Chain A
Amino acid sequence: MSRLVLHDLQLARGGRTVLEHLEGRFQDGAITALIGANGAGKSTLIQAIMGNLTPVAGRVECAVPAARRAWLPQQLALDLSFPMSVEELIMTGTWPSHGAFKGYCAAHYRRGREIMERLGISRLAHRPLGELSGGQRQRALIGRTLMQEAELLLLDEPFANVDVDTVEMLMDVLREMAEQGATLIIVLHDMEQLARLADDVLILSQGHGRWATPDALVERHTGQLTRPPRLPLTFPGSV
């Protein structure tokens, strides 16, 4: 099943075509890595999937309701000097159910605390965002998407500027989300992370998209197999 399908998509920025004849299905419960050089159209495609950019031709067919789509931009895009605590940020993830007016109830605060517990940021609950490290911030932002119960999650280089422990934890959390049926699209640059996380790869290059499997891509990229070949159990000459 795929709730997100691209039909012969043509996207443009400022009158210049960035991508054309883009086709494909993003599988439910799968993690798709989006890769490509700078300017290849990764952000443009994300914008189109989020519905913020109208395609020149073709269409994006998305069965996930807008409220359940989450987009985590690169950290630089956020104003992190805004005086808001980690808990308050995570609680804004209740927007789909609560909107601008409804008060938060105890159950939601409890859910917020569970999420912080899961992400290992419970003790930072009341810390302002501006005082967090890159890794802590990323955990808090992922916390918001968990609160939102996102079914389509787009992440732009979520592991940039983030410590090793956080990368490990976030990979687990993202994998869990996929296992629960969410569709994830992640812009990645690191081949090792790609090999570990991605189920599918969409390569954007020179205005076109090409689908690949992580194994084939990593093999071509590094000349090595992702998994070491299985050694024969018996050796010639052995009994």
Chain B
Amino acid sequence: MLDSLLSTLYLWLIAPFDYAFMSRALLASLALSLAAPPLGVFLMLRGMSLIGDAMSHAILPGVALGFLMAGFSLPIMSLGGMLSGLLIALLAGSVSQLTGHREDSAMASFFLISLAAGVMLVALGGSSVDLTHVLFGSILAVDTTALVLITGISSLIVITLAVIFRALVVECLDPLFLRSQGTRSGLVHGVFLGLVVLNLTAGFQTLGTLMAVGLMMLPATTARFWSTRLEGLIVLSVVIALGASLGGLLISYHLSLPSGPAIILLAGVAYLLSALFGRQHSLSARLRRRATPLRADDHA
């Protein structure tokens, strides 16, 4: 009885990763799950939840150009994506700085232009299969080069985030305080947006340019239903992303479903459940009629 249970569990949970392509996919998505959610938490707290989406469009023309010039070469495509993402973020930022145009509308305009340009470029040089690949990725096609690239970028993001962490926190709460201290808050903001672009380029191979945003934002917005503390939000969102990655890969393996959407949908399920039953701001929290007694936290 126990033996058969164990062997079923083994077949379900462990055996799939005996295949090299599955274990590479797992490693890649776990690395992304460590790097993406903290960025998502900060984007969410800055009221920039949709910027990730916009950014994901911005890396498309570069990826497409890399594809046209070098064929399906991940390093070249990633480099192209990174450059076009940074360039367009910089352009949008400076247009709003120079003209007084609101930053969000400048970004929206540039990102729509770049999405159209990217799709056009892909169509010029390839087939619709290539387009689907770039837009939605295929996590099961991650080779060793891609894995090295993804884990390298993820490590870089985590380290940089740790370095700028305090500045980022202070800048989110009160940018003027930072500026009055002689620190250029624009620099912190710029480095942060750069990390978002980096993360999206790391994610596009596995999840596609559009889905990569999902692993960044969904765990972060889900965590908001459970924690009111920054550390809590970050740890929780990483745990959710890790769980969604592992679960999504297994589901996609056993049910022969595309892996990217499986991972993101699983994170989406976590979001919906949290919206219903979470500890903060959820439906059940709203219906709950209990409160901590007065002065309960005096002794905390």
- A and B physically associate: yes
Residues of chain A at the chain B interface (Cβ within 8 Å) = 50-52, 66-67, 69-71, 73, 77-79, 81-85, 89, 92, 95-96, 99-101, 123, 126-130, 144
Q: Please pick, from B163, B170, B232, the residue contacting A92 in the complex, using a CB distance under 8 A.
A: B170
User: Do B170 and A101 touch across chains, with their CB atoms under 8 A apart?
Assistant: no
Q: Please pick, from A83, A99, A123, A127, the residue contacting B230 in the complex, using a CB distance under 8 A.
A: A83
* 30 A-B interface contacts by CB (under 8 A): A52-B180, A66-B180, A67-B181, A67-B182, A69-B180, A71-B176, A71-B177, A71-B180, A73-B176, A79-B45, A79-B47, A79-B173, A82-B169, A82-B172, A83-B45, A83-B229, A89-B173, A92-B166, A92-B169, A92-B170, A92-B173, A95-B177, A96-B181, A100-B163, A100-B167, A101-B163, A126-B300, A127-B297, A128-B229, A129-B173
Q: Tell me the dominant secondary structure on chain B's binding face.
A: helix
Asked if B179 is at the interface (CB within 8 A of a chain A CB), the reply is yes
In Å, the complex CA distance between A173 and B166 comes to 28
Tell me the B157-193 residues at the A interface (CB within 8 Å). Answer: 163-164, 166-167, 169-170, 172-174, 176-183
User: Do B174 and A123 touch across chains, with their CB atoms under 8 A apart?
Assistant: no
The tally of residues in B whose CB lies under 8 Å from a CB in A reads 28
User: Do B45 and A66 touch across chains, with their CB atoms under 8 A apart?
Assistant: no
User: Do B176 and A77 touch across chains, with their CB atoms under 8 A apart?
Assistant: yes
Q: Please pick, from B169, B178, B300, the residue contacting A84 in the complex, using a CB distance under 8 A.
A: B169
User: Taking CB as reference atom, which chain B residue is nearest A93?
Assistant: B177
Residues of chain B at the chain A interface (Cβ within 8 Å) = 45, 47, 163-164, 166-167, 169-170, 172-174, 176-183, 227-230, 232-233, 297-298, 300
Q: Which 10 A-B pairs have the closest CB atoms?
A: A100-B167, A66-B182, A82-B173, A83-B230, A100-B166, A95-B181, A123-B298, A92-B170, A128-B228, A71-B180
User: Do A66 and B181 touch across chains, with their CB atoms under 8 A apart?
Assistant: yes
Chain B residues, Cβ within 8 Å of A127: 297
In Å, the complex CA distance between A85 and B231 comes to 12
User: Do A84 and B173 touch across chains, with their CB atoms under 8 A apart?
Assistant: yes
Chain A residues, Cβ within 8 Å of B174: 73, 77-79
Q: A79-B47, A82-B172 are in contact. List 4 more A-B contacts (CB 8 A).
A: A83-B230, A92-B169, A95-B181, A128-B229
Chain A residues, Cβ within 8 Å of B173: 78-79, 82, 84, 89, 92, 129
User: Do B297 and A83 touch across chains, with their CB atoms under 8 A apart?
Assistant: no
Q: Please pick, from B180, B227, B233, B297, the residue contacting A50 in the complex, using a CB distance under 8 A.
A: B180
Given contacts A79-B173, A123-B298, contact A100 B183 (CB under 8 A): yes
Question: Chain A CB within 10 Å — which of B173, B178, B300 has the most?
Answer: B173
In Å, the complex CA distance between A85 and B300 comes to 13
Given contacts A82-B173, A83-B228, contact A52 B179 (CB under 8 A): yes
Chain A residues, Cβ within 8 Å of B169: 82, 84, 92
| Distance between B211 CB and nearest chain A CB, rounded to angstroms | 27
| Distance between A215 CB and nearest chain B CB, rounded to angstroms | 33
Chain B residues, Cβ within 8 Å of A89: 173
